Structure 1
Amino acid sequence: MDGLDILPLAITMMAGPQIMSAIIFVTTPRPVRVSLAFLLGVATAVSAGVAIMLGLGNWLGSSIDLGDPDDKGSVGHIIEYVLVGLLIVLAVKNWLTRATAEPPKWLGTLMTADPRRALKTGLLLILLMPSDIVVMATVGVHLAHADANYAQALPFIGLTVLVAALPLLGLLLFRRRAMSAMPKFRDWMNSHSWLVNIIVCGVFILLLLL
């Protein structure tokens, strides 16, 4: 996977409640400890998730010929087209329910999270979030389709963790400005969660089709 592919994929992995959680954690009383625990959870979950999906992709490839990566009609590409269809359905659903869309209520409880809760949040957000499962499945299928090994996924894993770390890095580098800007950005994302979800679906669809 080249750089043009992994950057949008990594951003897609963290868009939505994932990055909102990272922003909330830097506004807690112990932002550094809590945020580092969250990043550990994200790194562990992404690493495990990609490994599992690559294993499934290799198993699928040994059972079914995924075809030539350059062949747009190959089984591997057909699987990606199915994922595109699911994302379109999800985007339409977010648009139709935008008037009543609200961020998950559990996000509000993260303000009092300790490192253990932050670690658990990082793990569960990646391993249980449908959009992240789709992204990791796509990475796994892509690698299996290209007969690549797990090492080829390390840039994607590292970049995903880096995106997750941006709120903490912003706090450490621009402390006063970050402390003022983060709550405003958090509130905007809370009120526009439906738009964030649609953008994520759109970016991912483009990645699959290009």
Structure 2
Amino acid sequence: MDLQILPLAVTMMAGPQIVAAVVLVTSARPVRVGLAFVLGVAIATALGVAIARGIFALLGQAFAPGRPSDREVAAVVVQLVLVGLLALVAVKNVVRRRTVEPPKWLGSLMEAGPRKAFTTGFLIILLMPSDIAVMLTVGANLVQHDVGWTAALPFIAATVLIAALPLLVYLLLGKRAQRAMPRLREWLTTHSWVVNVAACLIFIVLILAP
């Protein structure tokens, strides 16, 4: 797997994903729900990458059996299509920035228990369009280099580490984090469009980088 794929872990958690992690850390049971959220993210990322690799492996066998060069071309085409879609998403967020509101489910996380936190971490990865795009890119890269799912473990680990950052900051900084996290939560929820645009742009730059 290319090392340039690793930074895509940043886009996996950019947007409502990292906002959810921050919100959970400001809840009544930050450690328990934070750990449950991170576990959900870890399982979903591993599962998503495995599915994405399987899809591209089947496509490669169906349309270009025994021809790695054709599979590489197909993977590049898919990646460029994903970049185009993300560019449209970024433009949409900029145009509608004054009317964009944070998802209502983010507010409900303040009262979340470990089960809901786990479910949120799991679904927020598997159902988020930007994360699906990233995992498809990783899956295509694995097939392109003819390597197994385990080659994506560094990417999965990086995604999990980023998901755990709010919890780690909370544990390391203690009371200072308790004072700072609510302010960070409020900024992220009111400027969600900025985070979404940044995630799209980072993804586009990384995927187009030589």
TM-score surpassing 0.5?
Answer: yes
Is contact 2:53–2:149 with CA below 8 Å preserved after alignment? yes
Residue 11 in structure 1 maps to residue 10 in structure 2: yes
Q: Secondary structure at the match of 1:68?
A: helix
> What pairs up with 1:1-210 in 2 under 5 angstroms?
1-6=1-6, 8-65=7-64, 67-68=68-69, 74-210=73-209
What code does the residue aligned with 2:34 have?
S
Aligned identity (percent) is: 54
What amino acid is aligned across from residue 168 of structure 1 in structure 2?
A: L
Q: Which runs of 5+ in 2 are unaligned?
A: none
TM-score, with structure 2 as normaliser: 0.94
Distance (whole Å) between structure 2 residues aligned to residue 58 and residue 75 of structure 1: 11
Structure 1 unaligned spans of 5+: none
Instruction: Name the CA distance, whole Å, in 2 between partners of 1:22 and 1:94.
Output: 22
Deviations 1:82-102 (A, max 9, x none): 111111111111111111011
List, as ranges, runs of 4+ consecutive aligned residues in structure 1 with deviation greater than 6 Å.
none
Q: TM-score, normalised by structure 1?
A: 0.94
Q: Provide Cα deviations, 1:145-168, integer angstroms capped at 9, x if missing partner.
A: 111111110000011000000011
Q: Is contact 1:67–1:76 with CA below 8 Å preserved after alignment?
A: no
Amino acid in the other structure paired with 1:5: I
> Within 1, Cα distance between the matches of 2:56 and 2:176?
44
Contact 1:57/1:140 (8 A) holds in 2: yes
CA contact (8 A) 1:42 1:123 kept: yes
Q: Is the partner of 1:120 in helix, strand or coil? A: helix
- Count of residue correspondences: 206
Please, what is the CA RMSD of the aligned residues? 1.4
